[in-house]
Amino acid sequence: MTEGATPMPMIDVYATSGTFKDPKSLAQELAETLMKIEQVPNIPMFRKNTAAFVHDLPDGGLSNVDGDTNYVRVQVLTNAGALNRDKQLAVVSQFTALVAAAAGDSSLRERTWVLLTEAVEGGWGLKGHANTNSELVDAARAQIAELQKAKST
């Protein structure tokens, strides 16, 4: 596993209703893209727990100071230290491009905000347990070993 890699990030996309023709495809693309950027192993633990949520805001549920409503906010939650500077830049750039493409509006690249947020050590709950980074890494390594053992038998 890549040092500092974070299992199971969560992605939330907020936009006014109707911005995206196929929100499910956007959610799946964002999740897959983040797994690639983080360079985590392609194992069920990560595939089942890396997810994106697309939230439709009602008309009037978003505005800047001037009253403009055609913005998108993307919030990415990862474990502390998961994204080094190169990975931060890649997430923001690639997510902005995916959002604009999913909306069919290249100008949305100028109006997409990406917020990178880190969960504190032990602040990541899965299966009813607040996990530390080392516990998540240990769980991933155990699953990799299980998969390799099953493959060799």
pLDDT 10s digits, 5-31 = 445 689 999 999 999 999 999 999 999
In percent, how much of the chain has pLDDT > 90?
58
What does the pLDDT read at residue 34?
94
The topology under which CATH files domain 10-152 is Macrophage Migration Inhibitory Factor (3.30.429)
Closest CA to 96 of 72, 73, 80, 112: 112
Radius of gyration, alpha carbons of the chain: 17
Angstrom distance (rounded) from CA 113 to CA 76: 11
The residue among 8 and 54 whose pLDDT is bigger is: 54
Q: What is the pTM of this model?
A: 0.84
What does the pLDDT read at residue 104?
98
Q: What is the pLDDT of residues 87-125, one digit of tens each?
A: 999 999 999 999 999 999 999 999 999 999 998 877 777
C-alpha triplet 4, 139, 121: angle, nearest 5°? 50
Contact in structure between 43 and 140 (CB atoms under 8 Å) = yes
The three-state secondary structure class of 20 is coil
Largest CA distance in the chain: 64
